[in-house]
Amino acid sequence: MPVRAFQNKTPIVDASAYIDETAVVIGDVVLGADSSVWPMCSVRGDVNYIRIGARTNIQDGCVIHVTRSRPDAPKGMPTIIGNDVTVGHRCTLHGCTIEDGCLIGMGSTVLDGAVLREGVLLAAGSLVTEGKELEGGYLWAGRPAKKVRPLTREEKVAFARFAEHYAKLKEHYK
C-alpha cells in the first residue's frame, strides 16, 4: 500500500480499508473500517493529524491536508472526516471538520477551520471559506457556499447508499 511514515508517525489503516496504489497516505493519519482512498489522492498528515471515519470514501484526485501551528491557531487545525462521508472527485479539504453523513460534491474546496455539520450536501464546485460553519440537513452551493434549501428525504437516504456502494466497490479492487 502507498502508506508512508513522516517523522515517526505512520498511518494507521484498518484492515478492511482500501487505498489505491496510485494514492498516497502520509504521516499522522487514521483510516477507518471499510473506508477507501481512490486513485491519485494525497492524504498528508505531516504538520497535524487527519482522521477519516468508517465507510467514508475519498474519490479520485482529492487533496486532504492540515494546518500547522500559527498565531491565531496555536494547535494548528487537523482535518477530521466522520463516518459515511462521500468526498467527490478532485476535492480539497484543508484543516477542516466534516461530520458524519455528508456528501461533498466534485471539485469543492473546504478551508481551514470550516465545519460541515452532520448531513450537509455541498454542491459540486463549492467553496467553504475559513471558519464557516454549515448547518446540517441542507444543500449548500456556490463560491462562497450559501444555504440553498432543506434536503429532501430521498437525498438523505441516498447519502447512506453512496457510502454503502463505495464500501462494497472497494472489495472488488482489493
CATH of the domain at 48: 2.160.10.10
pTM, rounded to two decimals: 0.96
Using the CB atoms, write b or e for 125-142: b if 16+ within 10 Å.
Answer: bbbbeeebebeeebbbbe
Q: Report pLDDT for 28.
A: 98
Domain count, the chain: 1
Q: Report pLDDT for 17.
A: 98
Helix (H, G, I), strand (E, B) or coil at 154: helix
Helix then strand then coil, % of the chain, to nearest 5: 10, 40, 50
Q: Report pLDDT for 116.
A: 98
Q: Report pLDDT for 134.
A: 98
1: pLDDT confidence band, cut at 50, 70 and 90?
low
Q: What is the pLDDT of residues 129-156, one digit of tens each?
A: 999 999 999 999 999 999 999 999 999 9
Compute the half-sphere exposure of residue 69: CA atoms within 13 Å on the CB side of its CA: 2
Residue 111 grid coordinates = 478551508
Helix (H, G, I), strand (E, B) or coil at 40: coil
Q: What is the pLDDT of residues 58-67, one digit of tens each?
A: 999 999 999 9
Q: What is the pLDDT of residues 9-65, one digit of tens each?
A: 999 999 999 999 999 999 999 999 999 999 999 999 999 999 999 999 999 999 999
* C-alpha closest to that of 18 among 46, 49, 45, 52: 52
Residue 38 structural domain: 3-173
